[in-house]
Structure 1
Amino acid sequence: MKKMQAMFIGRAETIQSVYRPGVRDELHQLADFYPIVISRENLAEHGSALKSMEVAFSTWGMPALEEDEIRHYLPNLKALFYAAGSVQSFARPFLHCGVTVVSAWAANAVPVAEYTAAQIVLANKGFFQSAQLYKHQNRQEAAGYANAFPGNYNAKVGIIGAGMIGRKVIELLKPYELEILVFDPFLSDEVAARLNVTKVGLTDLFSQCQTISNHLANLPETVGILNKEQFDRMLPYATFINTGRGKQVVEPDLISALRDVPTRTAILDVTFPEPVHRESELLKLDNVILTPHIAGSNGTEVERMAKYAMEEFRRYVQEEAMQYQVSLKMLETMA
């Protein structure tokens, strides 16, 4: 069986860090690869050779090409395999050109969900501020603060967005016997019952839950959706976790709610802008924990994404049903 003509497209250093030698060796057994990693900068230079490319592999740093560029430089491209999460920034022109787009979003969802579940369990114990109080004040103050928290048994946890990551978080939290409330307009009653969660409105979720975690899709409709109306209703010792997108949070409203009630906590792995401005109040508030966008795949975790992409390509070659193919309809609601 003749091998397909394949290429890597994106930033060469990122391609190498995600598609590690073992995965690349397996891919080379399945397809004949163009020897140069293609980027927007060298697209025209290699234009004539690219006209025969049938499949492409990418990851973070995938260039956003216009439809006319795809048709001109990649007229025979049949499929694009993306070893990372969101494809919102580049997928539509490829889909409009009839190119199959496959994402390893399920692989990147795993570490995000693991990170989130860990933060939720710690937040319900008052870990974050009590650790600081012990260090900067004394043990008595730290213990007094922590004792105001419910712990994890029967505590209410709010999940905003029950997509791939949100559902994985719910799955990971099952052993803790929490009461999980979910805001997701697209979640059916049937699926909610299967997940053993309670659907609620966004404001109700903020007013009832001890810990709240954002996993909304990155869409124009969700920009600024988390604002004063929600943050002002947080419980006195509540924690807000954001591993979704910074743009979904109206930052001044969150800062105001945290300043007004210092026993509240925010754990922010994403912000807008990213990184935060040096003069931002988020850097000055003791009840804000900032991490540098580490919830997603890091270190050895990135290889999982490449393996998902490789296995999907194997299914593609063998004409089997793929698990993570993206459609235009899916882009309306997915992260």
Structure 2
Amino acid sequence: MLKKAVFLADPDNKNISRVFDETVMGRLNSQVQLFPEWIHPGNANSYINELADVEIAFSTWGLPLFTVDELKAYLPNLKALFYAAGTVQRFARDYIARDCIVVSTWAANAVPVAEYTVAQIVLANKGFYQTAPLYKSSYKASKELSKVFPGNYEAKIGILGAGMIGRLVIEMLRPYELQVDVFDPFLPDAAAAELGVRKTDLHDIFANCDVISNHLANLPTTVGILNKQHFNLMKPHSTFINTGRGAQLVEADLIHALREDSTRTALLDVTHPEPVAEDSPFIHLENVILTPHIAGSIGNEVARMGHYAAAECERYCAGLPLKYGVTLKMLETMA
């Protein structure tokens, strides 16, 4: 007999059908018996009898928040939540407190972020962001400016955070023969050696790297961790990339550093607040490139997360070890 399962989502959640597309739903329907209604705190009590023996739940962005008491009342036999999206920080502890396995497909969401980051690093090392706009006013000046950039052989890249995304970026950079320096207090020396990177501190990275990319975990301890003592060290013609979290920067300090040396460049896919305020200097600074949080899964990429969730469910139903289960210990350091 198939295990009973349910989707946890508000009725207007448009992400469910995108992440769990027809192909993913075909996989799920062969594995579990899905309840026909999406469940949220507003309707759970109406289906309290039907939900009593539900063992598995699926969700994605927009997961409605249940309290521990509500989970106990409405989903007393829930054993596994497969979350087809990224961070689980806002709800995972409540589910784990109910002895419910929490699975995040952050590994699937890491793929497009890493691809995006590597593309930006390659372009930054070629001076793309500085020379392209200059070309329209002066080809000669644009060509001359291109000579100051290192290209993609033996350039120095700084990676902040060697979690799922940071490690994937490092792996994808291997063919480029770059020197990769990493700041991550939680990265063991043996793991750094296996990755082929040099562990160092923030000051060293900001002072010496041609491109610096932020992938630090989104934790209270990382809020404002990047500030003037780092940004003021950036080399001329260096580039800072942020696909992590905007709150990890003291943005006023980054703005000051960019104004102080206009050859420095910032590529910001995330800001705090998001979007930036209309009067933010980021809007007007020519050495700032803003993108609307596109590094993560967009378009067809979101279905990859649904497939990861389906694959994890297959392993769960077969009694096999899960690849992407989340523990309380992991929540201390993961994004």
Q: TM-score range by the shorter chain?
A: over 0.9
Partner of 1:65: 66
TM-score (norm 2): 0.97
Counterpart of 1:329 in 2: which secondary structure? helix
Aligned-residue offset at 1:86: 1.1
1:317 aligns with 2:317: yes
The corresponding residue for 1:149 is 149
Alignment match, 1:8:
7
For residues 116-167 of structure 1, the C-alpha deviation after alignment (integer angstroms, 9 at most, x for no partner) is 00000000111112111112x2112212222111111100000000001000
- Partner of 2:198 in structure 1? 198
In structure 2, the residue matched to 1:175 is 175
Q: State how 1:13-28 maps to structure 2 within 5 Å.
A: 13-28=14-29
Q: Which runs of 5+ in 2 are unaligned?
A: none
1:110 aligned onto 2:111 = yes
SS at match of 2:266: strand
Structure 1 residue 37: deviation in Å? Answer: 1.3
Q: Does 1:216 align with 2:216?
A: yes
Residue aligning to 2:326: 326
Q: Which residue in 2 is equivalent to 1:186?
A: 186
Q: Calculate the TM-score normalised by the size of structure 1.
A: 0.97
Task: State how 1:132-281 maps to structure 2 within 5 Å.
Answer: 132-135=133-136, 137-281=137-281
Deviations 1:61-107 (A, max 9, x none): 11232211211211110000011111111111101110000111111
Distance in 1 between residues matched to 2:285 and 2:330, nearest whole Å? 38
* Whole-angstrom distance in 1 between the partners of 2:249 and 2:114: 20
Q: Report SS of the residue matched to 1:308.
A: helix
**How much has 1:310 moved relative to structure 2?**
0.3
Which stretch shows the higher mean deviation, 141-150 or 105-114? Answer: 141-150
Q: 1:282 to 1:40 in 2, by over 3 A?
A: farther
Secondary structure of 2:23's match? helix
Q: Which moved more, 1:24-33 or 1:313-322?
A: 24-33
Counterpart in the other structure of 1:296? 296
Distance, in Å, in 1 between the alignment partners of 2:8 and 2:31 is 17
Query: Does the 8 A contact of 1:55 with 1:77 survive in 2?
Result: yes
Three-state SS of the structure 2 residue aligned to 1:169 is: helix
User: How much does 1:49 deviate?
Assistant: 2.7
In the alignment, structure 1 residue 125 sits paired with structure 2 residue 126:
yes
SS at match of 2:14: helix
Alpha-carbon distance in structure 2 between the residues aligned to 1:328 and 1:124: 39
**CA RMSD after TM alignment:** 1.1
Task: Tell me by how many angstroms 1:300 deviates.
Answer: 1.1
- Supply the distance in 1 between the matched residues of 2:16 and 2:40 (Cα, whole angstroms): 11
Q: Which moved more, 1:35-44 or 1:255-264?
A: 35-44
Q: Percent identity?
A: 57
Q: Which amino acid aligns with 2:6?
A: M
Distance 1:299 1:95 in 2: 31
Task: String of CA shifts for 1:263-315, please: whole Å, max 9, x gaps.
Answer: 11000111111111111111111111111111111111111111110010000
TM-aligned CA distance change 1:246 to 1:41, over 3 Å: farther
Contact (CA 8 Å) 1:19, 1:303: kept in 2 or not? yes
Q: How many pairs are equivalent? A: 333
Q: 1:325 corresponds to which letter in structure 2?
A: G
Please tell me whether the aligned partners of residues 126 and 146 of structure 1 are also in contact (alpha carbons under 8 angstroms): yes
Aligned to 2:55: 54
Q: CA deviation at 1:186?
A: 0.5
State the AA in 1 paired with 2:73: H
* Bigger mean CA offset, 32-41 vs 51-60: 32-41
The structural deviation recorded for 1:42 is 2.8
Measure, in 1, the Cα distance between the counterparts of 2:166 and 2:332.
Answer: 17
Question: Matched residues in 2 for 1:281 and 1:52: separation?
Answer: 54
Partner amino acid, structure 2, of 1:96: A
| C-alpha deviation, 1:39, in angstroms | 2.7
- Say which is worse superposed, 11-20 or 274-283, in terms of deviation: 11-20
- Please give the per-residue CA displacement for 1:30-61, whole angstroms capped at 9, x wherever unaligned: 11111111234333343343222211001111
